[in-house]
């Protein structure tokens, strides 16, 4: 039995890029090489428009698990090198398809051939017919149906000059753009459900997402901090090399609650978070801030209050969840496995800091008047000076 | 580190750690096996049972069943005896392993009777006994020592009155907070249907507890399987943990009097120290003979207990708390509300709980850290009161 497998990786949107295409391809290949095991004798080939990875059979599972979580991959298939013989090709197809028919009444399938070796004595449609009909002879009685338009299992045959490879059905990838191709951004990460989803969505748009967390210790325990470590680690699976900045926030909160108007507190806290995030992002050359805000979800996320926080920074504010409802966000959070961590019952804000009824339409001049009552710059500088920087890869 | 949360759990005694390590290595055989090493394991269990029986003065009328801890012991006894339709009663200030177990009967149309109106400083007032008779209560469940307040339900006077006033009612005590902290009166056993305890509350390992029950009672098993332990609790016995449990009980009872003196001094030092702080503090644990000195619960509104706890944590001082201040708040402690505290008093409370290993110096440091944190936090909390 052949101990080598060839994984065919198809790009997503890179295929659409014009002259920048090489840059995107290189970034994706680099990300794939970083994610797959280094010690398994894996080899990479890059013919036009695709990436082929030769892996030992024993490493296929670990490789597919990784490929499923790399942004920028449209799909991938696992292939086996065979003799260019119709009987052998069909036998392999039967071996893959037959088990699927045990659990269902019918299955639509088709064969697609790509023939780069023009010396092969049959055309692609002829090969499709020869292999397909052999498979149908065996399996049509079990419910296999040829259906090119709505195929549920596509057997793909690649006839090259040196080898013929048969690929099983396509495994869907995450799509989007390869991480790093859009640059670095900084995500304001709380312990909640939304911000991890926002970070994930931006990673799928090619951003390397770093994180900033505003820590309430010692007003709250270390539970919130530990939770954010878990969340950052979880999202970092999709990208790698993230930094997490933990900013002590209690002194700022105490100052705001002791000196500013009660109803404005939440917006004032958030304005300080944005200012600090802005400063960190500029220091580390990250040209965008990401938040999990969703319009109208809570009092601090009305159009007026979003404007009141946005105006403290000149940075791009990226809000991928802005038009999503909670159910939609939760669905994503479950898919990326952050939901269970997010709902762990760790308090994310001490009630002593919360106003009885927060303002829903903060007025910027009034907020600025509030901020004149605290040593805003000193507090901000102090928080950044005492911030902890964590390499998420090492968690 | 200063650890003052010994009602939550206790650090293991170094002697127990060392013997447990050896036993984990040596005592691996299944005590149900018929070959020599199995018989040796069985012998170790018998010896441990004898040690416990002697240390606690348990009469031959009672069986010992090893469990995974207090929660399992409480579940096993209450469900094993009363599920699903026997009438039960409780004070309403017990640990959730009792209250929730009893509440689980509600879905079988069998609501437990709460005696909260007979609560006197966190204890059961004996004037409730005619009600037990009237309601035909089969089992009364109480904490021997309350886990948040430290109040003691003294079993001996209760039992002697129950004999005449509520003869059909049996008594079950959760003794988890009692061992090593209060002296057990051997006279209690004759009138006790069941008693539970857990090793980690008195410097033993986690994962091992005990149910002591009157052998005339038929308990339905909650875990089905082999015929171990009178067919009441199936499962291979954890020999090293059982040995460690027995050693912990022996140590706790041998040192009980000395420990009691140490703990009493700590309690006095703490209470005097709190008075001297000139902070308006409400002591929630009653200061009388019906009180374990090992637990001191007090309130200091308007500063929240949880915020205080984390400020003390900054100084590596660990204390306990029955309720939370978070925005996604848990309910305030049912026990504190149950004895008549307001929501704010309950939220603004802490529980300091001692073991024999604590020192006066530690209490001194706690008092200083508490005073400092209170001074720092008070303005912020006063601000909130003005805001509202």
Kindly list the residues from chain B whose CB atom is less than 8 angstroms away from the CB atom of residue A262: 387
Cβ <8 Å between B327 and A351:
yes
pLDDT of residue A2: 55
Is residue B375 less than 8 Å (CB to CB) from chain A? no
B134 interface with A at CB cutoff 8 Å:
no
3-state secondary structure chain A: CCCEEEEEEEECHHHHCCCCHHHHHHHHHHHHHHHCCCCCCCEEECCCCEEEEEEEHHHHHHHHHHHCCCCCEEEEEEEEEECCCHHHHHHHHHHHHHHHHCCCCCEEEEEEEEECCCCCCCCHHHHHHHHHHHHHHHHHHHCEEECCCCCCEEEEEEECCCCEEEECCCEECCCCECCCCCEEEEEECCCCCHHHHHHHHHHCECEEEEEEEEECCCCCCCHHHHHHHHHHHHHHCCCCCCEEEEEECHHHHHHHHHHCCHHHHHHHHHHHHHHHHHHHHHHCCCCCEECCCCCCCCHHHCHHHHHHHHCCCCCCEECCCCCCCHHHHHHHHHHCCCHHHHCCCCCCCEHHHCCCCCCCCCCHHHHHHHHCCCCHHHHHHHHHHCCEEEEHHHC
Neighbours of A8 (CB within 10 A): 19
Q: With an 8 Å Cβ cutoff, is B327 touching chain A? A: yes
User: Which pLDDT score is estimated for A40?
Assistant: 81
* ipTM here: 0.75
Binary contact (B326, A347; C-beta < 8 A)? yes
Low-confidence ranges of chain B (pLDDT < 50): 323-329
Q: Which residues, in sequence order, are bridge partners of residue B2?
A: B317
Q: Give the gap in angstroms from C-alpha B359 to the nearest C-alpha of chain A.
A: 26
Which whole-number Å values give the CA distances from A154 to A5, A13, A142, in the listed order? 18, 22, 17
Interface residue A161 vs chain B (CB under 8 A): no
Residues 6+ positions from A203 with CB-CB distance below 8 Å: A71, A179, A209, A235, A238, A239
Instruction: Classify B268 as helix, strand or coil.
Output: helix
What CATH fold (topology level) applies to the domain A4-172? VC0802-like (3.30.2130)
Residue A222 or residue B67, greater confidence: B67
What is the C-alpha separation between B308 and B329, in angstroms, rounded?
A: 16
CATH 3.40.50.620 correct for A183-394: yes
* CA B225 – CA B243 distance, rounded (Å): 23
Section A200-212 average pLDDT:
98
CB-CB contact of A225 with A353 (8 Å): no
Find the residue in A nearest to B311 (Cα): A218
Any CB–CB contact under 8 A between A349 and chain B?
yes
pLDDT at A348 over 50: yes
Delimit the domains of chain A by residue range: 4-172, 183-394
Asked whether this chain's domains A4-172 and A183-394 adopt the same fold, the reply is no
CA distance B24 to chain A (A): 32
pLDDT in tens, A163-202: 899 999 899 999 999 999 999 999 999 999 999 999 999 9
Of A162 and A103, the one with more pLDDT = A103
Facing residue for A347 by CB, picked from B311, B314, B327: B327
Query: What value does the mean pLDDT take over residues A34-63?
Result: 91
pLDDT digits (tens, 9 = 90+) for A237-268: 999 999 999 999 999 999 999 899 999 999 99
In angstroms, the CA A308 to CA A280 distance is 20
Domains of chain B and any CATH numbers? 14-254 (3.40.640.10), 256-387 (3.90.1150.10)
Taking an 8 Å cut-off on Cβ atoms, the answer to whether A351 and B313 are in contact is no
pLDDT, tens digit, for every residue of A60-92?
Answer: 999 999 999 999 999 999 999 999 899 999 999
pLDDT at residue number A364: 95
Task: Tell me how far apart the alpha carbons of residues B200 and B69 are, in angstroms, rounded to a whole number.
Answer: 8
**By CA distance, what is B307's nearest residue in A?**
A219
Say if residue A87 is exposed, middle or buried (CB neighbours under 10 Å; 0-12, 13-18, 19+). Answer: exposed
Top residue of A216, A222, A342, A347 to mutate, by most chain B CBs within 10 Å, is: A347
Please work out, in degrees rounded to the nearest 5, the angle formed at the alpha carbon of residue B133 by the alpha carbons of B130 and B139.
Answer: 115
Say if CB A236 and CB A393 are below 8 A apart: yes
**Dihedral of CA B213/B215/B217/B219: which sign?**
positive
Is the Cβ pair B307, A352 closer than 8 Å? yes
* DSSP-assigned states of every residue in B70-126: HHHHHHHHHHHHHTTTS-EEE-S-S-HHHHHHHHGGGGGT-PPEE-GGGEETTEE-G
Q: What is the mean pLDDT of chain A?
A: 93
B388 Cβ under 8 Å from any chain A Cβ: yes
Contact present, A377 and A320 (Cβ < 8 Å): no
What spatial distance separates the first Cα and last Cα of chain A, rounded to whole Å?
40
pLDDT at A376 over 50: yes
A219, A257, A348 ranked by CB distance to B307: nearest: A219
How many whole angstroms separate alpha carbon B323 and alpha carbon B299? 12
**Measured between CB atoms, does A357 come within 8 Å of chain B?**
no
pTM across the whole model: 0.84
Rounded CA gap, B371 and A94, in Å?
78
Give the bridge partners for B114, in sequence order. Answer: B90
* pLDDT of B325: 44
Q: What is the DSSP letter of B285?
A: S
Largest separation between any pair of C-alpha atoms in chain B: 75
Q: Is the dihedral of CA B11, B9, B326, B328 positive or negative?
A: positive
Inform me whether the C-beta atom of residue B381 falls under 8 Å from chain A C-beta atoms.
yes
Beta-carbon separation of B380 and A348 below 8 A? no
Q: What are phi and psi of B339, to 5 degrees?
A: -90, 5
Which pLDDT score is estimated for B383?
Answer: 67
Q: Distance between CA atoms of B203 and B210, rounded to whole angstroms?
A: 15
């Amino acid at each position: 039995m052949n101990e080598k497998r060839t994984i065919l990786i198809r790009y997503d949107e890179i295929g659409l890029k014009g002259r920048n295409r090489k840059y995107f391809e290189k970034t994706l290949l680099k990300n794939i090489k970083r994610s797959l095991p280094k010690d398994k004798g894996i080899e990479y080939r890059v013919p036009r428009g695709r990436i082929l990875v030769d892996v030992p059979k024993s490493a296929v599972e670990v490789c597919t698990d990784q490929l499923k979580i790399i942004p920028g991959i449209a799909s991938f298939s696992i292939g086996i090198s065979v003799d260019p013989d119709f009987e052998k090709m069909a036998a392999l197809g039967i071996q893959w398809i037959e088990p699927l028919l045990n659990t269902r009444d019918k299955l639509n399938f088709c064969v697609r051939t790509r023939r780069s070796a023009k010396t092969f004595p049959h055309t692609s449609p002829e090969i499709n017919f020869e292999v397909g009909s052999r498979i149908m002879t065996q399996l049509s009685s079990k419910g296999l149906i040829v259906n090119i338009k709505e195929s549920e299992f596509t057997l793909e045959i690649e006839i090259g000059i040196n080898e013929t490879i048969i690929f099983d059905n396509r495994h869907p990838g995450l799509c989007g753009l390869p991480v790093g191709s859009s640059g670095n951004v900084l995500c304001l990460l709380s312990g909640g459900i939304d911000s991890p989803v926002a970070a994930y969505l931006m990673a799928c748009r090619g951003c390397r997402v770093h994180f900033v967390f505003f820590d309430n210790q010692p007003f709250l325990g270390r539970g919130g901090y530990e939770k954010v470590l878990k969340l950052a680690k979880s999202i970092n699976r999709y990208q790698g090399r993230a930094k997490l900045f933990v900013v002590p926030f209690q002194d700022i909160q105490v100052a705001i609650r002791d000196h500013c108007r009660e109803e404005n507190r939440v917006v004032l806290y958030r304005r300080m978070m944005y200012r600090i995030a802005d400063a960190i992002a500029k220091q580390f050359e990250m040209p965008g801030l990401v938040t999990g805000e969703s319009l109208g979800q809570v009092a601090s996320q009305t159009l007026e209050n979003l404007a009141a926080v946005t105006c403290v920074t000149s940075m791009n504010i990226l809000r991928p969840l802005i038009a999503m409802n909670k159910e939609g966000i939760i669905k994503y959070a479950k898919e990326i496995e952050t939901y269970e961590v997010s709902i762990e019952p760790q308090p994310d804000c001490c009630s002593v800091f919360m106003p009885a009824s927060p303002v829903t339409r903060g007025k910027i001049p009034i907020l600025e008047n509030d901020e004149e009552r605290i040593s805003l710059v000193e507090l901000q500088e102090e928080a950044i000076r005492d911030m902890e920087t964590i390499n998420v890869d090492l968690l | 580190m200063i650890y003052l949360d010994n009602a939550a759990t206790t650090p293991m005694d170094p002697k127990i750690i060392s013997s447990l390590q050896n036993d984990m290595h040596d005592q691996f055989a299944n005590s149900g096996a018929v070959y020599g090493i199995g018989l040796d394991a069985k012998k170790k269990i018998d010896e441990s049972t004898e040690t416990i029986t002697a240390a606690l003065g348990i009469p031959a009328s009672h069986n010992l069943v090893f469990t995974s801890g207090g929660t399992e012991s409480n579940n096993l006894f209450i469900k094993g005896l009363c599920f699903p339709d026997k009438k039960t009663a409780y004070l309403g200030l017990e640990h959730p392993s009792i209250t929730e177990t009893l509440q689980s009967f509600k879905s079988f149309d069998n609501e437990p009777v709460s005696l909260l109106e007979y609560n006197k400083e966190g204890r059961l007032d004996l004037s409730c006994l005619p009600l037990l008779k009237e309601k035909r209560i089969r089992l009364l469940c109480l904490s021997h020592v309350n886990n948040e307040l430290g109040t003691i339900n003294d079993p001996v006077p209760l039992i002697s009155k129950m004999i005449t006033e509520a003869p059909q009612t049996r008594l079950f005590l959760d003794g988890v907070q009692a061992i090593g902290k209060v002296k057990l009166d051997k006279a209690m056993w004759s009138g006790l249907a069941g008693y539970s305890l857990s090793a980690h509350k008195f410097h033993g390992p986690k994962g091992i507890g005990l149910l002591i029950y009157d052998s005339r009672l038929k308990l339905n098993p909650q875990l089905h399987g082999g015929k171990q332990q009178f067919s009441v609790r199936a499962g291979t016995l954890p020999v090293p943990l059982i040995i460690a449990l027995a050693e912990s009980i022996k140590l706790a009872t041998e040192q009980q009097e000395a420990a009691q003196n140490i703990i009493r001094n700590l309690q006095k030092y703490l209470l005097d120290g709190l008075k001297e702080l000139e902070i308006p503090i409400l002591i929630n644990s009653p200061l009388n003979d019906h009180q374990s000195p090992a637990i001191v619960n007090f309130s200091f509104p308007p500063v929240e207990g949880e915020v205080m706890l984390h400020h003390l944590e900054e100084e590596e001082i660990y204390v306990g708390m029955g309720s939370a201040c978070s925005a996604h708040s848990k309910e305030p402690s049912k026990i504190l509300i149950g004895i008549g505290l307001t929501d704010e008093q309950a939220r603004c409370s802490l529980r300091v709980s001692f073991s024999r290993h604590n020192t006066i110096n530690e209490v001194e440091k706690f008092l200083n850290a508490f005073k400092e944190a209170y001074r720092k936090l008070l303005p912020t909390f006063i601000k909130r009161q003005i805001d509202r």
